[in-house]
Amino acid sequence: MSKEKQVKVALVSCGSEYAGVQGELDKVTASVNAKLIFPEIDIASLDTIGRDFGIEAASPDLRLMMARAQAVVEGISDVDGVFITSCFRCAEAAIVRNEVRRYINKHSNIPVISYSFTERTTAATLMTRMEALTTIARRKHLLAREHQTGLTAGIDSGSTTTKAVIMKDDKIIGQGWVPTIKVIDSATEAFNHALEEAGVKAEEIQAIGTTGYGRFLIGEHFKAQLVQEEITVNSKGAVYLANKQKGSATVIDIGGMDNKAISVEDGIPGMFTMGGICAGASGRFLDMTAKRLGVEITELGSLAVKGMQEKVDMNSYCIVFGIQSLVNSLAKGSRPEDVAAAACHSVVEQIFEQQLQEVDVKEPLILVGGSSLIEGVPKALSTLLKIDVLVPKNSHLIGAVGSALLASGFVEE
Amino acid sequence: MAKVIIYPINSLILSDLVERFGHKPLAMMEKIKDKVNTVGVDSPPLNITAEEPKKGLKYAAVEVPAGVRGRMSIVGPMIDEAEAAVIVNEASMAFGCMGCARTNELTKYLIRQKEIPILEVEYPRSEEEGKEFVYKIAEFLKSLPMESRS
């Protein structure tokens, strides 16, 4: 990574230097060979920026945020990406942060991420986001790749399951899907399954790409050419599998531990948000629901489509309270199919509340990740958003396919 | 010499005025200088670490944003120490500013809760108002005891 050009990331923030997180911000940007810069502004513009931008914020630092965003858009400050951040729980900052993000997104092609911090925010929390931001800025040529060529492998070491695919000339010829137990052992097992199904040997593979939480560890183990976070890889994999590589698309990935909403343009991720406050809005909650209902996770979806979520009051904002409402509703005599439907609705409702408020939903809406295979989830999402939800074939293999696709860029290199 | 807290808390002009009349200004600049020069702490630009927002819990509850509590960890002890206060309302940003409106509200509130001599003046918008502004502050500072209570 250090051989690549250093990426200049504009820090458009309010209070980060007073909240004890500045050191963590510097640490995470350094780890992805990026540098935070403070866009220069004309100090006099602070007096008029409220009216110019349209929000007359009371906090001077928020006016500074708007002025810095304006400097980025007008090219006064030459940057490759923008990191907008403000304190968690500040309403005024949340309004300005969201509007500044929309403003940069509308008036420039510069990738942006937005985050609200607490003093507990660490470099590790921000790693995936910052890695995605710098990748979009740095590797646009790689992300523009629309076809998989040669014989490549992709391994997605997720929090719950590990997926592997072998691809040859735009076709999946082998796949493996195992629960994640020991990261390297599970990846090896999934990889071997995929190799066996494809009928090829590991040494024949021309390039390997890794993604997911265990990407660094397995990337080193398998000597991968591409080690990439899930936002870039999954959005690429989603539009590739859905055959929607041109134009706008929105990708929602409900993973085992968190979820992501990504706005994609011509196969390149633009705005994205990543949830992770509680596993209540993840596949893990659905897994626990299935266990409590005594059904296999593969049966939960068909059960949910038969039920009516309106009959059960459930809020899985927190996975513990979510299970509590599940237990309560069963104790009150609710039907399992209604509970299953309510669990699916609860997960997508949280994605709507937490993620989709920050990403403009543009059709097609592509739902990926293991949870997309639970029929009740796309149904609930479609009902909530009142648009068609597209679940591409092999949607659970999205990370592995995206990795194999992007890794094929290294075959030619 | 009285310990006089100023608002805006980083106003160079106010700090200078307080000093000229023989009192000790309690201002942000000196505290930040101490922070930046703290040996062994490497958290640029202000050397404020995750510990500061926790110290700020003395002045604001945990649901108050970390940036407010981080600022209050520095401003709060100055308010505790203050024996008098000069508050300038509606000041222009160039006169001094803390950046965060919520911190400003809390700072002024906590100063007003103390039973100490407080002068509140509006920021001047004309030369005439400017003269009046300096006069009021000078008279207030002259009225303060030259002996610190602590």
- Are B43 and A87 within 8 A, CB to CB? no
CA of A280, closest CA in chain B: separation in Å? 22
- Are B99 and A119 within 8 A, CB to CB? no
- Are B101 and A64 within 8 A, CB to CB? no
Mean pLDDT (chain A, rounded):
90
Cis geometry, peptide bond prior to residue A364 (ω within 30 degrees of 0)? yes
pLDDT tens for each residue of A319-338: 788 888 888 889 999 999 99
Write a three-state SS string for A105-150: HHHCCCCEEEEEECCCCCHHHHHHHHHHHHHHHHCHHHHCCCCCCC
CA A164 to chain centre: 19
A45 at interface of B, judged by CB pairs closer than 8 A: no
pLDDT tens for each residue of A238-297: 999 999 999 899 999 988 777 888 988 888 887 788 875 566 778 888 888 999 999 988
- Are B50 and A20 within 8 A, CB to CB? yes
**Contact partners, residue B54, CB within 8 Å, separation at least 6:** A119, B69, B73
Question: Residue B87's beta-bridge partner residues?
Answer: B7, B120
Handedness of CA B20, B24, B27, B33 (dihedral sign): positive
A266 at interface of B, judged by CB pairs closer than 8 A: no
**A54, two tokens:** 């349209």
Chain A's closest residue to B63, CA to CA, is: A89
Q: Would the pLDDT of A34 be above 50?
A: yes
Nearest to A22 among B43, B69, B97 (CB): B43
**Contact partners, residue A391, CB within 8 Å, separation at least 6:** A366, A367, A368, A372, A373, A378
Q: What is the pLDDT of residue B45?
A: 82
Residue owning tokens 């005024």: A92
- Are A15 and B53 within 8 A, CB to CB? no
Residue owning tokens 């002890």: B77
For residues A263 and A239, the answer to whether their CB atoms sit within 8 Å is no
d(CA A174, CA B83): 77
For residues A34 and A7, the answer to whether their CB atoms sit within 8 Å is yes
- Are B102 and A57 within 8 A, CB to CB? no
At residue A329, what are phi and psi to the nearest 5 degrees? Answer: -65, -35
Chain A's closest residue to B73, CA to CA, is: A18
At residue A183, what are phi and psi to the nearest 5 degrees? Answer: -55, -55
Chain B contacts of A17, Cβ < 8 Å?
Answer: 45-46, 48
In this prediction, residue A412 has a pLDDT band, given cuts at 50, 70 and 90, of low
Handedness of CA A240, A226, A173, A150 (dihedral sign): positive
At residue A112, what are phi and psi to the nearest 5 degrees? Answer: -130, 140
d(CA A191, CA B28): 59
**A86, two tokens:** 């403000």
Chain A contacts of B44, Cβ < 8 Å?
Answer: 22-23, 26
CA angle, A170 then A173 then A178, to 5°: 120
Sheet of A259-265, strands arranged across: A268-275, A259-265, A248-254, A365-368, A389-390
Give the pLDDT of chain B (150 residues) as one tens digit per residue.
899 999 999 999 999 999 999 999 999 998 988 888 887 777 778 888 889 999 999 999 999 999 999 999 999 999 999 999 999 999 988 898 889 999 999 999 999 999 999 999 999 999 999 999 999 999 999 999 987 666
Q: What is the pLDDT of residue B149?
A: 62
Q: What is the pLDDT of residue A354?
A: 79
For residues A282 and A259, the answer to whether their CB atoms sit within 8 Å is yes
The strand ranges marked E within A124-280 are 151-157, 161-168, 171-179, 207-212, 226-227, 248-254, 259-265, 268-275
**A346, two tokens:** 């609860």
d(CA B6, CA B115): 16
Nearest to A20 among B53, B93, B97 (CB): B53
At residue B91, what are phi and psi to the nearest 5 degrees? Answer: -75, 155
For residue A5, the 8-state DSSP code is: P
pLDDT tens for each residue of A346-364: 888 888 887 787 777 889 9
Nearest to A15 among B42, B63, B100 (CB): B100
Q: What is the pLDDT of residue A2?
A: 46
At residue A206, what are phi and psi to the nearest 5 degrees? Answer: -85, -30
Q: What is the pLDDT of residue A177?
A: 92
Ordered by where they begin, the domains of chain A are 7-138 (3.40.50.11900), 151-231+398-412 (3.30.420.40), 244-391 (3.30.420.40)
CA of B33, closest CA in chain A: separation in Å? 14
For residues B28 and B98, the answer to whether their CB atoms sit within 8 Å is yes
Number of CB pairs, chain A paired with chain B, less than 8 A apart: 98
- Are A87 and B66 within 8 A, CB to CB? yes
| Most confident of the ranges A3-17, A374-388, B104-118 | B104-118
For residue A167, the 8-state DSSP code is: E
Q: What is the CATH number of domain B3-143?
A: 3.40.50
- Are A21 and B68 within 8 A, CB to CB? no
For residue A307, the 8-state DSSP code is: S
- Are B44 and A20 within 8 A, CB to CB? no
Chain A contacts of B71, Cβ < 8 Å?
Answer: 15, 18
Question: Residue A34's beta-bridge partner residues?
Answer: A7
For residues A89 and B65, the answer to whether their CB atoms sit within 8 Å is yes
Q: Using DSSP, how many helices (H) and how many strands (E) does chain B show?
A: 6, 4
- What percentage of chain A's residues is helix, strand, coil (to nearest 5)? 50, 20, 30
CA of B37, closest CA in chain A: separation in Å? 16
Concatenating the DSSP letter of every residue in A316-358 gives -SSHHHHHHHHHHHHHTT--HHHHHHHHHHHHHHHHHHHTTTT
Chain B's closest residue to A45, CA to CA, is: B93
Q: Which of A18, A63, A115 to mutate to test the interface with B (most CBs of B within 10 A)?
A: A18
Least confident of A138-152, A158-172, A197-211, B47-61: A138-152
CA of A175, closest CA in chain B: separation in Å? 45
Q: Would the pLDDT of A1 be above 70?
A: no
Chain A contacts of B100, Cβ < 8 Å?
Answer: 14-15, 18, 59-61
Provide the pairing of β-strand A248-254 with B118-122: unpaired
- Are A118 and B66 within 8 A, CB to CB? yes
For residues A235 and A228, the answer to whether their CB atoms sit within 8 Å is no
Q: What is the pLDDT of residue A321?
A: 81
- Are A58 and B101 within 8 A, CB to CB? yes
Chain A contacts of B48, Cβ < 8 Å?
Answer: 17-20, 22
Q: Would the pLDDT of A172 be above 90?
A: yes
CA of B18, closest CA in chain A: separation in Å? 25
Nearest to A109 by CA among A72, A54, A71: A72
A128 at interface of B, judged by CB pairs closer than 8 A: no
Name the residue ranges covered by the structural domains of chain B: 3-143
With a CB-CB cutoff of 8 Å, which residues 102-121 of chain A face chain B?
A: 117-120
d(CA A76, CA A154): 41
At residue A214, what are phi and psi to the nearest 5 degrees? Answer: -95, 15
> Which 3 state secondary structure label does DSSP give A78?
coil
pLDDT tens for each residue of A51-106: 999 999 999 999 999 999 999 999 998 999 999 999 999 999 999 998 999 899 89
pLDDT tens for each residue of A298-310: 888 889 989 988 8
Q: What is the pLDDT of residue A69?
A: 96
Chain B residues in contact with chain A using a Cβ-Cβ cutoff of 8 Å? 42-46, 48-54, 63-71, 92-94, 97-102
Q: How many CB atoms lie within 10 A of CB A280?
A: 22
Chain A's closest residue to B48, CA to CA, is: A20
